Structure 1
Amino acid sequence: MLYKKNIIFNQQIKETYTHLKELELNTICVEGNCPNIGECFSKGKMTFLILGDTCTRNCLYCNVNKSKRGKELNFGEIENIKKIISLHRLNSVVITSVTRDDLIDGGSHYYALLCKELKEFNNKVSIEILTPDFGYDEKSINTIITSHADILSHNIELTQSLYKKYRPVGNYTKSLDILKQYAQSGKKSKSAFIIGFGETDDDIKQTIYDIASTNIHYLSIGQYLAPSKNHLKPLKYYSHEYFQTLSEWVKENFNFEKIDVSFYSRSSYLDA
C-alpha cells in the first residue's frame, strides 16, 4: 500500500497481536488494514470491531469483508474485551462495528449491552463508540444515545458529492441528523471523513461547514489510502502542507473542541 508506515515490531506490538488472536477479537486496525496500526499498537491503542468481521454494505474504499448477511453474534467477545482491558491496563476503549443491515436493530442493542457490561466491569474506563447508521432507524439511534458510552461517534466518511458513487446506501443528510442527535445527547460527539476521491476544495469546506452545523465536539480529516492493491486508488494525494493549511483554516473559522487534520488522521487514531 502506497504511503503505508513502516512497522518496527516491539514487545507491545507483539503482545497486542498475540492477545487479539488468543481472545479471537477483531479490530478495524487489522480488518481495515489501517496505515497507523503499528504506531497505535505500539502504544497499546486499538479499536475493537464488533458484530462480526463481515459488513453488509459495499463501500468501494473499505477493506472489511462484505456479504449480504453477517456472522452470528458472539456474546463471548464481551468477556474477552474485558480481559484485554485488564491485560493492557486500558483506561479508554474505542469500539466500532461493521454495518449489519441483516439485523432488525442493526446491532444497536448489542452496542448498549457491551457498554453496560464494560462500565460494570470498570466504571473508570472511558468508552467511545463509532457507530454505523443503523439504517437511520430512530429507535436504534436512541438506544445508542441512552447507552453507557461516553463518546458517540458517527463518520460522515466522504463529501456529499461522492455519496452516490462510493457510498450509495448511505445518506449524507440523514447522517448529519445522527450527528445532531449525538451532539445534543449531553455526551461528547465526534465525526470524521477522508479525502482523495476527486472532491474539490469547496466540497471539503462545505462538508466541514455541514459537520460544524451539527455542533459536534471533535472532527478528524485524513487522506484516503487504498488498503490493498485491489481497492480503489486515490485520485489525489494531498500534501502535508495542504492539511496544515486546512487545519489552520478550521481552527480560525469553527469552534470544535478538538480537531485532528493531517495526512494520516483517522477518527480513532491514537484514540484521536
Structure 2
Amino acid sequence: MLKPDWLRVKAPQRERIGEVADLLLDLKLNTVCQEASCPNIGECFAGGTATFLIMGPGCTRACPYCDIDFDKSVRSLDPTEPERLGEATARLGLKHVVITSVNRDDLSDGGASQFVACIEAVRQRSPQTSIELLIPDFCGDWDALATVMEAGPDVLNHNIETVPRLYKKARPQGIYERSLELLLQVRERWPKAYSKSGLMVGLGESDEEVIETLLDLREHRVDIVTIGQYLSPGPKHLPVDRFVTPEQFERFRLHGEQELGFLQVVSTPLTRSSYHAGEVQRLMQLHPR
C-alpha cells in the first residue's frame, strides 16, 4: 500500500541530528526514536530532543506492530544508566524530558526502580526539567506503579495502543481493561500528575471504535491523548489496513477536546506518543495542580 502525500517527512537537518546522535552514542544511551524507527526522528533530533529508552533495547514482549527487538532472556539492569541519562538531559539543555522503556516482564518490579533512579538523576542534574514517563503496564502490579508515581513524575503516559477488538491481534500480551485501570489509578491516587495515553489508527479499527476508545479513556480520567497513523515497520509486522486522512484526524481532535473534555488531543498522521511532548509545559501552566 503506497503512502499518501500527507505522510511525507521533510528532510532533516543533518548537522544537528549528528550532534544529538553522537552524544547518545558517547553516553551509550538508547532512544525510542532510533529503536522504533520513528518518522519524526529528524525533526526531534534537529530540535535537540529525544525520548530516552531505558532497560533496552530488547523487549520481553513481541507485539507485531512494533519495531523494537524481541528478547526474552534475563538481563541485569545497568546501574550507571540513570546517571548517563541525567547527564544527557543536562547537556542537551532539555526543558522537558520523556523517559520510556521496553517491557521487562523478567524483572520482579517490571523495572519500576530503574524509572525512579532515572527521575532522581534528572532532577539532580537538571532540576528545572519537567519529566514525562511512558511506562508499560507492569503486568498489573500496582505496587510497582506506586513505586514510580511516588517519585513524582509530572506526566504519566501509558499507551492504550489500539481499540479493544484488536488487542489479541496487535497487543497479545496486553489487556485493554488493565491499561485503563492503570490510567485511572494514576489520576485517583496521584492527582497532581497529568495522565496521558495514545493510540494508533490504521490497524483495522473503524472511526466509531476510535471514538469509543476515546470515551473509555476520558471516563478513566485521562488528560492528554495522542493519535497517529500506524506505519508498518516491515514485512514481518502487521500490515497497514488503511491510511486515515488529515481531515479525520482533525475530527478526532475536535471530538476529544470539545465533546469529551480532554485537556489536549494531539491528532495528526505523524503524531507519536512523545511528539511535541514539551507542549505539556504550556498545559501545566494553563491547568495547574
User: TM class by shorter-chain length?
Assistant: over 0.9
> In structure 2, how many angstroms separate the alpha carbons of the residues matched to 1:25 and 1:40?
16
Q: 1:142 aligns with which of 143, 146, 155?
A: 146
Range with greater deviation from structure 2 (37-46 or 6-15): 6-15
Contact 1:223 1:262 (8 Å CA) reproduced: yes
Contact 2:95 2:128 (8 Å CA) reproduced: yes
Q: Which residue of 1 aligns with 2:42?
A: 38
Taking the TM superposition and a 5 Å limit, the aligned residue runs for 1:208-223 are 208-223=214-229
Whether 2:241 is the aligned partner of 1:235: answer: yes
Taking the TM superposition and a 5 Å limit, the aligned residue runs for 1:18-97 are 18-97=22-101
CA displacement at 1:62 relative to structure 2:
0.2
Q: Which residue of 2 aligns with 1:118?
A: 122
Matched AA of 2:268: S
Taking the TM superposition and a 5 Å limit, the aligned residue runs for 1:95-244 are 95-184=99-188, 185=190, 186-244=192-250
> In structure 2, how many angstroms separate the alpha carbons of the residues matched to 1:165 and 1:230?
14
Contact 2:250 2:268 (8 Å CA) reproduced: yes
Matched AA of 1:37: I
- Kindly tell me: are residues 71 and 270 of structure 1, through their superposed partners in 2, closer, same or farther at Cα, counting changes over 3 Å? farther
Q: Secondary structure of the residue that 2:22 maps to in structure 1?
A: helix
> In structure 1, how many angstroms separate the alpha carbons of the residues matched to 2:73 and 2:161?
23
Matched AA of 1:164: K
- Kindly tell me: are residues 50 and 4 of structure 1, through their superposed partners in 2, closer, same or farther at Cα, counting changes over 3 Å? farther
Deviations 1:104-156 (A, max 9, x none): 11001111121122212232111100000011111111112211311111000
Q: 1:254 aligns with which of 249, 255, 260?
A: 260
Contact 2:49 2:92 (8 Å CA) reproduced: no
> In structure 1, how many angstroms separate the alpha carbons of the residues matched to 2:27 and 2:117?
19
Deviations 1:24-48 (A, max 9, x none): 1000000000011111111111100
Q: For this pair of structures, how many residues does the alignment match?
A: 272
CA displacement at 1:6 relative to structure 2:
4.2
> In structure 2, how many angstroms separate the alpha carbons of the residues matched to 1:198 and 1:111?
33
Range with greater deviation from structure 2 (140-149 or 168-177): 140-149
- The normalised TM-score by structure 2 is 0.90
Range with greater deviation from structure 2 (244-253 or 34-43): 244-253
> In structure 2, how many angstroms separate the alpha carbons of the residues matched to 1:259 and 1:78?
31
Q: Secondary structure of the residue that 2:115 maps to in structure 1?
A: helix
- The normalised TM-score by structure 1 is 0.95
Contact 1:115 1:127 (8 Å CA) reproduced: yes
Contact 2:85 2:121 (8 Å CA) reproduced: no
Q: Which runs of 4+ in 1 moved over 6 A?
A: none
Return 5+ residue gaps in structure 2 as ranges. Answer: 280-289
Deviations 1:27-75 (A, max 9, x none): 0000000011111111111100001201000100000010212533112
Deviations 1:198-240 (A, max 9, x none): 1112211110000001112111111101123442221111111
- Kindly tell me: are residues 263 and 70 of structure 1, through their superposed partners in 2, closer, same or farther at Cα, counting changes over 3 Å? farther
> In structure 1, how many angstroms separate the alpha carbons of the residues matched to 2:226 and 2:92?
26
Q: Secondary structure of the residue that 1:78 maps to in structure 2?
A: helix
Q: Which residue of 1 aligns with 2:274?
A: 268
